[in-house]
Amino acid sequence: MKTWISFPKVEGTATRQAHVRLPAGTYEREVGREGFFGPATQFHHAHPPTAWTRFDGPLRPRAFDLNRVDQNLDCPLSAPPLMGNGATQIRLWRFRGRMEHLVRNADGDDLLFFHQGGGHLYCDYGHLPVAEGDYVVLPRNTAWRLETEEAVTVLMVEATGDAYKLPHKGLVGTHAIFDPAVLDVPQLDDAFQAQKSERETVVRIKSRGRISEMVYPFNPLDAVGWHGDLAPVRLNWRDIRPLMSHRYHLPPSAHSTWIANRFIVCTFVPRPIESDPEALKLPYYHSNEDFDEVLFYHRGQFFSRDNIRPGMVTFHPSGFPHGPHPKAYETAQNYARKETDEVAVMIDTRDPLDVHEAMEATEWPGYVDSWKAK
């Protein structure tokens, strides 16, 4: 057991309530531990913490345009890794057609987020229709394949050596954010029965990053029934009902969707903007000292960013303060917008992430200078 050193104090010109009633002419910066789950201090600065004039070296804010990834791969295991560490691998998979083989990931659970398109996913447990905006959690070693008549773009997040779980919802109760009853599972329906065959079938398995193949003289997706509490689940972002406060800007952790041991996945969905004149109305400047932050932008206008569009990714490694762009900050504080329409997937990792070659090829190098006043 361990307990953080805790001695809440107020020093100098400061507000006693985080993110509310900031001293005139100041910019708040939160320094926190364990993401947004540990102890934190709010500084009040005379200048924006992102007002650097130069930023040299590998530790810098970075942005990538994944719309430039050009591929059509029939095997999701072949999708090149974009970012990763020992606890997760992040990939982007583009595909159109019918997978003629099955895949299994023996390295960990897979989380699929359907950024564009949809189709029909067949797996050990049955048939699961999928559409734009769906998350699908595939338990480790589940055999599956996809059929689609339209082009699909899928963000894939592997929980390496780990499993996805639901966040503990504490005081707000188990039905908050999304009711577990909205989680759909595959069914042994007519579509699943129709795909059964005695045709030779290849199963590709990823284990320790390497691909092996098994060949069956029949299609091994041949279940006649199952029972239990382990199965793939589907959740669409439209079924997420975010926590809101009109008087206080909630931290990203309030929007946690999936939890693994060394990282979390949050989903930002449309919501009203805080209406209290004294409250901050967008993400505050912060130094997340223990986590790297990745944001994948799915749709809408991103209210804390300029020049970011769907299909792009921002990456803020731990070690420097970051936060809203100047124009977005001004717009929010003037309450020019009353609600957000953005949908974004955030991946916060406890261990530093490596950016791989496929990702670096899509980089927007000017992002580090995008906080400069115009």
In angstroms, what CA-CA distances link 157 with 68, 82, 89, 259? Answer: 19, 10, 6, 12
Q: 54 CB contacts (<8 Å, ≥6 apart)?
A: none
Q: 356 burial class (0-12, 13-18, 19+ CB within 10 angstroms)?
A: middle
CATH value of 27-64+239-369 in 3.40.50.12370, 2.60.120.10, 3.40.640.10, 3.40.50.10090: 2.60.120.10
Contact predicate 269/343, CB 8 Å: yes
Binding residues for Fe cation: 286, 292, 322
Q: What phi-psi label fits residue 342: left (phi over 0), alpha (psi between -120 and 50 degrees) or beta?
A: beta
Assigned token pair, 258: 């999936």
DSSP 236-264: EGGG-B----TTSPPPGGGGEEEE-SSEE
Give the helix ranges, DSSP H, for 171-299: 190-195
Contact predicate 237/343, CB 8 Å: yes
**Residue whose structure tokens are 């569009």:** 309
Catalytic residue among 127, 249, 255, 325: 249
CATH architecture of 72-161+180-237: Sandwich (2.60)
Binding residues for homogentisate: 322
CA angle 330, 11, 21 (to 5 degrees): 30
Per-residue pLDDT of the chain (374 residues; tens, 9 = 90+): 778 888 888 999 999 888 999 999 999 999 988 888 888 999 999 999 999 999 999 999 999 999 998 888 999 999 999 999 999 999 999 999 999 999 999 999 999 999 999 999 999 999 999 999 999 999 999 999 999 999 999 999 999 999 999 999 999 999 999 999 999 999 999 999 999 999 999 999 999 999 999 999 999 999 999 999 999 999 999 999 999 999 999 988 999 999 999 999 999 999 999 999 999 888 888 887 899 999 999 999 886 677 899 999 999 999 999 988 887 777 777 777 889 999 999 999 999 999 999 999 999 999 999 988 65
Contact predicate 76/95, CB 8 Å: yes
Assigned token pair, 234: 């589907």
DSSP 319-342: TS-B---HHHHHHHHTT--SB---
Residues of the chain by 3-state class (helix, strand, coil), percent to 5: 10, 40, 50
Contact predicate 326/371, CB 8 Å: yes
Domain with CATH 2.60.120.10 in the chain: 27-64+239-369, 72-161+180-237
Whether 249 is a known active-site residue: answer yes
Overall pTM > 0.75: yes
Count other C-beta atoms under 10 Å from residue 88's C-beta: 26
Binding residues: 286, 292, 322
Half-sphere exposure of 171 (CA within 13 A, CB side): 2
Pairing of strands 201-207, 102-105: parallel
